[in-house]
Structure 1
Amino acid sequence: MNFPKGISTIVDILKMLLALISLLVLFLIVISVNPDLLVKKAKDTGPWKPKSVLTDLEGEPKAALIKFGFELITKTPQLIGPMSSNPNKQFAGNNLTCQNCHLEAGTKPGSGSFVGVFNRFPQFSGRENRMGTLEQRVDGCMQRSMNGQPLPKNSLEMKAIIAYIKWLSENVPEEEEAKYKGYAKVKLPEVAADPLLGKLTFEKHCVVCHGDNGQGQRPSENALYIYPPLWGKDTYNHGAGMHRVITAAEFIKGNMPYLQATWDNPVLSDEEAYHVAAYINSFDRPLKSNPEADFPEKHLKPVSTPYGPWTDDFTAEQHKYGPFQPIMKFYNEKYGIKKSK
């Protein structure tokens, strides 16, 4: 009496096995067509952001070198500047850190960010009239913004800085790399930048951090600046890019007042940034040696370079403060070069 029931049970089991085999075959076919389905998708962590040495070095083969590069960027005068205990390591000539210009250790957009920079080298440099390496660009900063001397070739310090910049430049989405490149755009007023107007903006927005004498704030002479000096003996020299009014205005617009302005949501107007850049750069600062050697092809010199020689008849005053549009027009008409700085 139970025999037919047993046969029925076996048939049901065979049907289930055939169904499972069919599903397995279907799964194998799908996976063979799209093997990425087996790869675990990364958890959605929100908008893309640059890597951080505090959270993203785990498993990185060059973690120690990258972290040292980060420390050089954030503790520059203590490691390779006047505060270094080793006189042979005092390559920087002032007590600025690299991140006084490259804010947030080079990860803030609109402040000369390092994000994506490694991918753009080698590149042509008009200042040297040659294809330049990233190492040469770093040395340019050392000689100008840091008012010092180049790092020794193949030094651990140079390797660490390059490793850090390379790490920040890896796997950056194309649209993000474009966002992090350069500074905020400034529509230049068609008048000369006026230091007296700039002083009004400085007193309103800048004094609280940089002081009315522009010398910044730090707890003691043996400590890092909380806010850096903007002129005087302990800041960038006159050969630095930040000494050009247009470049300074772009940096200021996208970043100042600090922790308030961003490249896409500035506090200052174009006019305010333009004039306060003139005020900051109207004061004395260290002089770079041999500036006349810059830009061997003088017609490639930025119009706002405040030191000669130039291949035009505009005054030194106009090259420093503008108005810059007539100078730009001259180079466009004579050399076919459209200049924006």
Structure 2
Amino acid sequence: MKFKSPKPRKSGKQLLVVFSFIIVLIFIFFFLFQYEFFETEYTEISEEKTDPLTADYDTYFLDDTRENKKIKYGYELFVNTAQYLGPQNGKREKAYSGNNLSCNNCHLKAGTKPYSGMLIGVINRFPQYRGRENKIGTIEERINGCMERSMNGNPLPPNGDEMSAFVAYMKWLSRFSPENGKVKGAGYARIKIPEREVDLEKGEMLFIKKCAACHGENGQGIPLRDYAGYLYPPLWGDDSYNIGAGMARVITAAEFLKTNMPYGVSYDKPELTDDEAYDIAGYINQKDRPDKANRELDFPDLKKKPVSAPYPPYADSFPVSQHQLGPFQPIMEFYKNEYGIIKTK
């Protein structure tokens, strides 16, 4: 009788070893690829969901890489302009600003507050056409426009450390913005322009009631004690913006005031009415302030000049006083009928 030899059976221990080996391979494969997989997934989700208006813009937490140092220097220049670039900075070769204002005085919260000349997204909108120069301009030229007008000073060297730092800071502020740079809260909020001349008496009363606590009845602001600059800036006089600045226009100033003053208000919770902002802006801008060198060269095409630009020449025959105090609607109507140009300020 022949006997078939039984097939050897794998023991339970052998099966357990094989099964464990497969499990280990799965874990090894998972851990080799999980970091790259999750990192990519997280980054894509983060970029899609980051709201440029609620993002973190605190430079304090940036490390000291070369680029981050430049960003932090740009922030310092922006909020403490007078200490670095003002006439009292201790370095004559760096005194590009002619007054002791800071960029932060007009572009509030270091350029991040909506409807206060907010800078979030702004660099993505350059190069851009500007009627004041009647050409396509760079962000560097725009910055120097502020230096020569709001800061009543001289242009920064286009390739210097300070210009590079300003640009780096603006790029950093725009890192979550869309490619076209269009972010809600850009520029200033529109107001309904009263169809009348500015009431200077009412503007003065409103200024004393709403503004004098910070800026003083004489409009000279409150200077910092230990450093060059202001806690609250002067609104007229030798240390204020010059007549060529955008804020010297009644309509522009009224738009800024409506959603930003008194300090602490916002677009959603304004304190001034359109009429009140209009009268205060007119009162402030009737005060003496520095002239702008070569201002006759502004707006080579005079048809592009804002109706509230406070200095001639103009492409119309309306008096200077009406360009300064209104009413502005007849001037706007003239440009619409004569040149087919619709003006809003």
Give the Å deviation of 1:70. Answer: 0.8
Match of 1:150 among 152, 155, 159: 155
Q: SS of the counterpart of 1:226?
A: strand
- Structure 1 runs not aligned, ≥5 long: none
- Structure 2 runs not aligned, ≥5 long: 1-8
Residue by residue, what CA displacement relative to the aligned partner does 1:112-152 show, whole Å, maximum 9, x if unpaired? 11111110111111111111111111111111100111112
CA contact (8 A) 1:83 1:222 kept: no
Q: SS of the counterpart of 1:62?
A: helix
Counterpart of 1:83 in structure 2: which amino acid? Q
Give the structure 2 partner of residue 81 of structure 1. 86
Give the Å deviation of 1:240. Answer: 0.5
Give the structure 1 partner of residue 278 of structure 2. 274
CA distance in 1, matches of 2:110, 2:132: 25
Identity of aligned residues (%): 49
Counterpart of 2:196 in structure 1: which amino acid? V
Give the Å deviation of 1:14. Answer: 8.5
CA distance in 1, matches of 2:148, 2:142: 10
Match of 1:336 among 319, 328, 340: 340
Residues 62-81 of structure 1 mapped to structure 2, 5 A cutoff:
62-81=67-86
The 1:59–1:331 alpha-carbon spacing in structure 2 relative to 1, beyond 3 Å, is same
TM-score (norm. length: structure 2): 0.86
CA contact (8 A) 1:237 1:287 kept: yes
Match of 2:243 among 238, 250, 259: 238
CA distance in 2, matches of 1:65, 1:140: 21
Counterpart of 1:49 in structure 2: which amino acid? A
Residues 93-104 of structure 1 mapped to structure 2, 5 A cutoff:
93-104=98-109
Match of 1:320 among 313, 319, 324: 324
CA contact (8 A) 1:209 1:216 kept: yes
Match of 1:90 among 77, 92, 95: 95
Give the Å deviation of 1:263. Answer: 2.1
| 1:195 and 2:206 are equivalent in the alignment | no
TM-score (norm. length: structure 1): 0.86
Give the Å deviation of 1:157. Answer: 0.9
Give the Å deviation of 1:279. Answer: 0.8
Give the Å deviation of 1:283. Answer: 0.5
Give the structure 2 partner of residue 170 of structure 1. 175
Give the Å deviation of 1:153. Answer: 2.9
CA contact (8 A) 2:117 2:187 kept: yes
| 1:54 and 2:60 are equivalent in the alignment | yes
The 1:221–1:285 alpha-carbon spacing in structure 2 relative to 1, beyond 3 Å, is farther
Residues 243-262 of structure 1 mapped to structure 2, 5 A cutoff:
243-259=248-264, 261-262=265-266
The alignment covers a number of residue pairs equal to: 331
CA contact (8 A) 1:50 1:107 kept: no
CA contact (8 A) 1:193 1:275 kept: yes
Instruction: Specify the structure having the higher radius of gyration (Cα).
Output: 2
Residues 112-191 of structure 1 mapped to structure 2, 5 A cutoff:
112-173=117-178, 177-191=182-196
Give the Å deviation of 1:265. Answer: 2.1
Give the Å deviation of 1:233. Answer: 0.7
